[in-house]
Structure 1
Amino acid sequence: MKLRFSVSVIVCSVLVLWVALFLCVFLDTPVPDEFPENFKFKLMDGLMRLHGFMMSGMTSLGLIEYFSPADRKIADWFILTMTTGFPWGSGVDSRLQITDTKLRDVRVKIYQPANSLGKKKRPVLVYFHGGGWSLLSADCYDPIMRKISRESDVVVISVDYRLSPQHPFPVPLNDCFDVVEYVLDNSDTLGVDSSRVAIGGDSAGGNMAAAISLRLQKRIALQLVLVPVLQIINWQTTGYMENVLYLNKSINSPNSLVFLTNYLNLSPAYAHQFLINNHTSPEFKKSKYFDSVDQKKWMPKKYVRTKDLWENIEYKKDFGNQELFKKVEGYLKEPLISPLIADDETLSGLPFTYIMTCGYDFIRDDGIMFHEKLKYLNVKTELAHYPEGFHNALMFPHGPLKMDIGVKIIADIVRILKNKL
């Protein structure tokens, strides 16, 4: 009896210590003054930092490797637990028929509203998940895809594209393109309308949605470009400089540029070079490509919280790592990696474009500049900017960390699908 009591005391003591450690170490993130749900914001950030700490420890001990199948599975379980309360996600949903299959050898999950089964000419959204081209999966995004399909009555096809660094550019993009092309060419078989095909994605998925639209143009009825990374030329943006103060050890971490080096098949040692704009040569910094991401031209100051920051934008152009620049020059000039640098003629052919950006996202400015450029070219576009939002806010419209900002973002996406598709 005494032994049992002693074991219980030890276990409880360890749990108390872990909770105390979590509260002291992982809940110290700064919270924006205007953010209404600051405890959930802190808890989300703290949990993400705890996950990173645990994975770093397991990697140091040789128990796991970064970007391995095990690493990715744990990341999926972690996100699903935060967004649903359970690592295995959601169960059966009588309102949807969910099919796990392959289209052109690419794994997809297809969500069909039960009330539209057997019907033809249905609207469809092909969606590309986020995760920096390196993490997460269609399984991780299952709860969000279910919600969007149910509430919009749109067929959703979620693409489980191959990931870098094992499969760098253009493999993930080609996987996504192959699925979209299959849907367009086989709409009758799928029971969808080829004139009502939308594509969309968030973060890296938003990047690929914009890139695919450059190729398919008006064959797509609508594109949803959500918290996207749309250029890799200038990382010293107002969005980065303002928002690196927040979530800088989780979703806004400067270390996340490793995802970009993964995608470009480069050593992660180069990530910091991108961050300080040392990956571009002095000549390139004076070229039309750098002009295409000029914040004085394309970033309205009303979206920048720190007005002095916008007014004093000045880029030094007399430096650069020539050796690295030679390695990445082709990537820097590729619109399929940086849709923001596409020429005016190509951008003018884009379909209706819905862009979602968040005020506390360090890649905030890419989506805003894309909107401004499309508007300048008379492309039909809508910008949904959430000043109090953060990069992964759309993941929290439900579950134990349900936030009002997540509810609003998903509701607006559903509205666009209903009204424009």
Structure 2
Amino acid sequence: LAPEHKYPAAYEDCLNATQHFLHHLEHYGVDPARVTVCGDSAGGNLAAAVSQTLAGRSDLPKLRAQILLYPGLQALDFNLPSYQQNRGVPLLFRERAAFYVLQYLNGNATNLEEVLEGSHIPIDVKLNYQKWVSPDNIPEKFKVRGYKPRVLLDCTTEVFEKVKRFCEPNLCPLLAEDTVLQQLPESFILTCEYDVLRDDGLLYKKRLEDNGVRVTWCHLEDGFHGIINSFGSDWLSFPSGKRGLDNAINFLKSL
């Protein structure tokens, strides 16, 4: 776990475990045609990265599906509509989301202000990824609760040097090339309306669909980040969370 073990430690742990599992499916009594990876929040990031890495492998069984529950998939823009609308909504505040991804990358949050205002990535790099990471790709209905376009800010070489690995798909899966996405398995994506990470999921859904990947999408209109974690709790369980979990289970059963 970060910050003691920085990127790519968590990604490599998940990749190694998945590869080991796929190499020894007979030992575990698992059908090679029915292996699915799943993760929520930061785990959704890891599941997406592992799926991409394994997508082109011919020496291992192909994954049957990936399930991504309110995943965090990019660190280029913390001013997308969902970040602006839900900046102060529990359980994941906008500032904490940026704080956590910096802890994961560097083990500290010394460039938090630059990341929040968008002055951590050079303009030419942002423009290179704008076809994928852009509020223009978010359906208009998700902007009605409020959205103010931001002016593109440049950054210093010194700052970018510290965060340039944000451009690596193993850290930010939304930035993977089309040729990688085209090989991904059938996908389930869950997003919540009151979640800063909502638009990460919406942008990835669009990218997968644009590349011919079948996506089952579940959007919880009254959901918030982490809502499924409280499922089964006697005193803090939400019908919306059960609905999201039921949708994921139904997707699994349909495979």
Larger Rg: 1
* SS of structure 2 residue aligned to 1:408: helix
Asked whether the 8 Å contact 2:119–2:153 carries over to 1, the reply is no
Please point out which of 300, 304, 325 is paired with 2:143. Answer: 304
Q: Distance in 2 between matches of 1:283 and 1:377?
A: 25
Q: Distance in 2 between matches of 1:252 and 1:345?
A: 34
Partner of 1:200: 38
* SS of structure 1 residue aligned to 2:12: helix
Deviation at 1:217, TM superposition (A): 1.5
Partner of 1:42: none
Asked whether the 8 Å contact 1:234–1:290 carries over to 2, the reply is no
Given the superposition, is the C-alpha separation of residues 411 and 262 from structure 1 closer, same or farther in structure 2, using an over 3 Å criterion? Answer: same
Given the superposition, is the C-alpha separation of residues 292 and 220 from structure 1 closer, same or farther in structure 2, using an over 3 Å criterion? Answer: same
Q: Distance in 1 between matches of 2:237 and 2:96?
A: 27
Deviation at 1:280, TM superposition (A): 1.0
Partner of 1:345: 179
Trace 1:153-232 onto structure 2 (pairs within 5 A). Answer: 163-217=1-55, 219-232=62-75
Partner of 2:89: 246
Q: Which amino acid aligns with 2:143?
A: V
Deviation at 1:253, TM superposition (A): 4.9
Asked whether the 8 Å contact 2:78–2:98 carries over to 1, the reply is no
String of CA shifts for 1:66-101, please: whole Å, max 9, x gaps: xxxxxxxxxxxxxxxxxxxxxxxxxxxxxxxxxxxx
Higher relative contact order (CA 8 A, sep 6+): 2
Given the superposition, is the C-alpha separation of residues 256 and 292 from structure 1 closer, same or farther in structure 2, using an over 3 Å criterion? Answer: closer
Please point out which of 184, 187, 205 is paired with 1:371. Answer: 205
Q: Aligned pair count?
A: 249
String of CA shifts for 1:363-383, please: whole Å, max 9, x gaps: 110001110111111111111
Partner of 1:325: 160
Asked whether the 8 Å contact 1:201–1:224 carries over to 2, the reply is yes
Q: Which amino acid aligns with 2:142?
A: Y
String of CA shifts for 1:323-377, please: whole Å, max 9, x gaps: 1112222x13211111111111111110001000000001110001110111111
Deviation at 1:251, TM superposition (A): 2.4
Given the superposition, is the C-alpha separation of residues 171 and 245 from structure 1 closer, same or farther in structure 2, using an over 3 Å criterion? Answer: closer
Deviation at 1:417, TM superposition (A): 1.2
Partner of 1:51: none
String of CA shifts for 1:299-345, please: whole Å, max 9, x gaps: 11123332x62xx63x422432331112222x132111111111111
* Moved >3 Å (runs of 4+): none
2:252 corresponds to 1:412: no
Q: Distance in 1 between matches of 2:124 and 2:251?
A: 42
More moved, 360-369 vs 251-260: 251-260
Q: Distance in 1 between matches of 2:241 and 2:67?
A: 16
2:68 corresponds to 1:234: no
Q: Which amino acid aligns with 1:372?
A: K
Asked whether the 8 Å contact 2:81–2:142 carries over to 1, the reply is no
Partner of 2:131: 291
Q: Distance in 1 between matches of 2:26 and 2:204?
A: 34
* SS of structure 1 residue aligned to 2:17: helix
Asked whether the 8 Å contact 2:73–2:173 carries over to 1, the reply is yes
Identity %: 29
Partner of 2:111: 270
* SS of structure 2 residue aligned to 1:194: coil
* SS of structure 2 residue aligned to 1:264: helix
Q: Distance in 1 between matches of 2:94 and 2:64?
A: 35
Given the superposition, is the C-alpha separation of residues 397 and 267 from structure 1 closer, same or farther in structure 2, using an over 3 Å criterion? Answer: closer
Trace 1:15-164 onto structure 2 (pairs within 5 A). Answer: 163-164=1-2
Q: Which amino acid aligns with 1:334?
A: E
Q: Which amino acid aligns with 1:281?
A: P
Partner of 2:217: 383
String of CA shifts for 1:14-66, please: whole Å, max 9, x gaps: xxxxxxxxxxxxxxxxxxxxxxxxxxxxxxxxxxxxxxxxxxxxxxxxxxxxx
Q: Distance in 1 between matches of 2:37 and 2:170?
A: 15
Q: Distance in 1 between matches of 2:107 and 2:99?
A: 9
Deviation at 1:289, TM superposition (A): 2.1
Deviation at 1:177, TM superposition (A): 0.8
Asked whether the 8 Å contact 1:289–1:333 carries over to 2, the reply is no
Q: Which amino acid aligns with 1:190?
A: Y
Q: Distance in 2 between matches of 1:181 and 1:294?
A: 33
Deviation at 1:266, TM superposition (A): 4.6
TM-score, normalised with respect to structure 1: 0.57
